[in-house]
Amino acid sequence: DTGVSQNPRHKITKRGQNVTFRCDPISEHNRLYWYRQTLGQGPEFLTYFQNEAQLEKSRLLSDRFSAERPKGSFSTLEIQRTEQGDSAMYLCASSLELAGGEQYFGPGTRLTVT
């Protein structure tokens, strides 16, 4: 396994369009996290899964955002009716089920909403 992968790496979309990002975690990791990172800031937690169960969602995750991990493997993050304020880097990370365990990050998907 070569690590966490994310696709696409870059996405440019027009305001109002829907976008979907994919994250493939390290295969033996049962936890998967989504973060949003804007320029010059640290990652902000959005949501996380343990296997297929979504355990916590941030208040940052408006009803336009939805995340799934249907089989406990890869995950998708969808943003509906994108707004310019959604422009950011979306990071995915995975980890083992271990309290305070290391999170392994993917390269991110950079979203630009025009």
Partner 1 sequence: AQTVTQSQPEMSVQEAETVTLSCTYDTSENNYYLFWYKQPPSRQMILVIRQEAYKQQNATENRFSVNFQKAAKSFSLKISDSQLGDTAMYFCASTSKTSYDKVIFGPGTSLSVIP
List the x/- string, 25-64, binding to partner 1 by CB under 8 A.
------x-x-x----xxxxxx--x-x----xx--------
The residue among 91 and 113 lying less far from partner 1, judged by its C-beta, is 91
The residue among 25 and 43 lying less far from partner 1, judged by its C-beta, is 43
Instruction: Let me know: does 92 contact 25? Beta carbons within 8 Å.
Output: yes
Instruction: Let me know: does 41 contact 48? Beta carbons within 8 Å.
Output: no
Q: How many CB atoms lie within 10 A of CB 6?
A: 22
* Residue 18 beta carbon to partner 1: minimum distance, rounded to whole angstroms: 27
Choose which of 19, 88, 91, 111 interacts with partner 1 (CB under 8 A). Answer: 91
Q: HSE on the CB side for 106, CA within 13 Å?
A: 29
The residue among 74 and 105 lying less far from partner 1, judged by its C-beta, is 105
Q: Report d(CA 111, CA 37) in Å as an integer.
A: 11
